[in-house]
């Protein structure tokens, strides 16, 4: 799996802060609503990160249910564990999406948000997901397609070079565009596809765009011909646009829901 | 701090029911003394740190050949 999922403690904290932003909090409640969990169900969160969604999943399935968080990153699991303290239905494992450490037909529902775009072998990861789902089990996958980014700039050529380098941080920066046939090939029946847009038409220090743009700046600086000065200048130019009321950012998250067909 | 580490490392028995070896998908044995999850089929012992099973073959201990298989 990509090294980009191996966060140190500082990076894990940065992700946690970004995910507590109102833009992402809204997305999380949408995900929870669409999963339609019932009390007593077993639910898996692949790439549970700082555990914000996992905690909500656990509270929804209740003490008679089970909410399992799988993550590659020990610092992320530490944060998530503290967040879910006192919830006996929560368990964590450190593991990989392509090699799930669960028996066949273990889960009623599974969710994975902003994770599969980092996974190199999606065919294998989806076969594994199919295996651990009960017949009739529901899955929800949410990922960004970076082709959907709209980001106003006064230097389009520079920004295009920077965003091209940013694509390198993902195994597939455009996964949603090809996810439907991949789900079907794994045996899933697709039930619903939707967009959750993220729109930041103004710049604020705590908007989602501010967090992700700083992440982009940090990643591209000194990589593939982008100098630190150039990356900093790009980020500064966006903040300057913000100060003049000329900032504009939007990106789409694509939600795929599917089921493992029930036994006939 | 191995003492405090062991204290907080007790694994939830209900968790064992839903864990298998990620390589072979076979059942695991819990070795309480070593605080490891043993996959006889893979010949690997997965460590448990702070109560979290580390289900990554790269981080697992290879069992001596006599115990494997």
DSSP string, B8-69: TTPPPHHHHHT-B-TTT--B-EEETTTTEEEETTTTEEEEEETTEEB--GGGSEEPPGGG--
Please name the residue of chain B whose CA is at the shortest distance from the CA of residue A106: B18
Q: Using CB atoms, pick whichever of A72, A77, A106 lies closest to residue B18.
A: A106
Cβ–Cβ gap B52/A106 under 8 Å: no
The reported pLDDT for the residue numbered A122 is 97
Residues A71, A77: Cα–Cα separation, whole Å: 7
**Residue B4 confidence (pLDDT) above 60:** no
For chain A, give every domain's residue range. 9-259
Q: A171 vs chain B: nearest CA distance in angstroms?
A: 20
Look at the block and give the residue holding tokens 């992320």.
A76
> How does the average pLDDT of chain A come out, rounded?
93
> What contacts B32, CB < 8 A, 6 or more positions away?
none
Cβ–Cβ gap A94/B53 under 8 Å: yes
What band does B14 get if pLDDT is binned at 50, 70 and 90?
confident
Average pLDDT of the segment spanning A44-70: 96
How many pairs of residues across A and B have Cβ atoms under 8 Å apart? 53
The reported pLDDT for the residue numbered B15 is 80
What band does A263 get if pLDDT is binned at 50, 70 and 90?
confident
> A9-259, which class in CATH?
alpha beta
The contact set of B with A (CB < 8 A) is: 12, 14-15, 18-23, 25, 49-57
**Residue B8 confidence (pLDDT) above 90:** no
What band does A6 get if pLDDT is binned at 50, 70 and 90?
low
Of the listed ranges A17-26, A45-54, A116-125, A178-187, the least confidently predicted one is A17-26
**Residue B10 confidence (pLDDT) above 80:** no
Residues A10, B2: Cα–Cα separation, whole Å: 25
Q: Is A257 left (phi over 0), alpha (psi -120 to 50) or beta?
A: beta
Of the listed ranges A83-92, A237-246, B6-15, B40-49, the least confidently predicted one is B6-15
Residues A87, A68: Cα–Cα separation, whole Å: 11
Going by C-alpha positions, the residue among A97, A86, A87 that lies closest to residue A49 is A97
**Residue A1 confidence (pLDDT) above 50:** no
A236 or A6, which is more confident: A236
Contacts of A91 in chain B (CB under 8 A): 12, 14-15, 18
Of the listed ranges A5-14, A81-90, A172-181, A225-234, the least confidently predicted one is A5-14
Q: A238 vs chain B: nearest CA distance in angstroms?
A: 41
The reported pLDDT for the residue numbered A19 is 76
Contact A170, A118 (CB under 8 A): yes
Q: Using CB atoms, pick whichever of B20, B23, B52 lies closest to residue A92.
A: B52
Cβ–Cβ gap A102/B19 under 8 Å: yes
For the question of an ipTM over 0.85, the answer is: no
Q: Which helix (H) or strand (E) holds A143?
A: strand A133-144
**Residue A206 confidence (pLDDT) above 90:** no
DSSP class of residue A222 equals T
Residues A55, A53: Cα–Cα separation, whole Å: 5
Angle at A228 between CA A50 and CA A147, to 5 degrees: 60
Contact A59, A86 (CB under 8 A): no
> What contacts A220, CB < 8 A, 6 or more positions away?
A162, A165, A166, A226, A231
With a pLDDT cut of 70, the percent of chain A lying above it is 97
> How does the average pLDDT of chain B come out, rounded?
82
Residues B44, B38: Cα–Cα separation, whole Å: 6
Question: How many residues are given for chain A?
Answer: 264
Contacts of A104 in chain B (CB under 8 A): 25
Contact B21, B39 (CB under 8 A): yes
> What's this model's pTM, rounded to 2 decimal places?
0.89
Q: B26 vs chain A: nearest CA distance in angstroms?
A: 8
Q: Using CB atoms, pick whichever of B12, B20, B50 lies closest to residue A101.
A: B20
Interface test with A, best of B5, B41, B56 (most A CBs within 10 A): B56
The reported pLDDT for the residue numbered A205 is 86
């Amino acid at each position: 799996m990509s090294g980009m999922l191996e966060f140190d403690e500082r990076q894990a904290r940065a992700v946690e802060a970004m995910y507590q932003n109102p833009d992402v909090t809204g997305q999380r409640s949408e995900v929870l609503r669409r999963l339609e969990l019932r009390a007593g169900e077993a639910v898996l969160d692949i790439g549970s990160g700082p555990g914000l969604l996992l905690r909500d999943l656990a509270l929804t399935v209740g003490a008679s249910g089970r909410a399992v968080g799988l993550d590659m990153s020990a610092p992320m699991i530490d944060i998530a564990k503290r967040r879910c303290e006192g919830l006996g239905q929560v368990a964590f494992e450190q593991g990989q999406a392509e090699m799930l450490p669960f028996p066949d037909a273990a889960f009623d529902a599974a969710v994975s948000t902003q994770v599969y775009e980092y996974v190199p072998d999606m065919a294998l990861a989806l076969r594994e997901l199919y295996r651990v789902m009960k017949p009739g089990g529901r899955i929800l996958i949410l990922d960004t397609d970076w082709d959907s980014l709209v980001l106003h700039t006064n230097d389009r050529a520079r920004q295009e070079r920077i965003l091209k380098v940013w694509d390198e941080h993902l195994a597939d920066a455009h996964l949603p565009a090809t996810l439907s046939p991949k789900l079907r090939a794994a045996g899933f029946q697709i039930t619903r596809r939707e967009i959750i847009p993220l729109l930041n038409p103004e710049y604020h220090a705590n908007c989602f765009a501010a967090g992700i743009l700083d992440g982009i700046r940090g990643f591209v600086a000194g990589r593939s011909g982008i100098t630190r000065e150039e990356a900093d200048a790009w980020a500064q130019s966006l903040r300057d646009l913000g100060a003049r009321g000329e900032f504009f950012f939007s990106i789409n998250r694509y939600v795929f829901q599917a089921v493992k067909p029930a036994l006939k | 701090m191995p003492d405090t580490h062991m204290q907080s490392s007790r694994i939830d028995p209900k968790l064992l029911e839903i864990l298998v070896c990620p390589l072979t998908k076979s059942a695991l044995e819990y070795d309480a003394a070593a605080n490891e999850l043993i996959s006889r089929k893979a010949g690997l012992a997965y460590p448990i740190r702070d109560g979290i099973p580390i289900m990554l073959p790269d981080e697992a201990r290879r069992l001596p050949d006599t115990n494997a298989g």
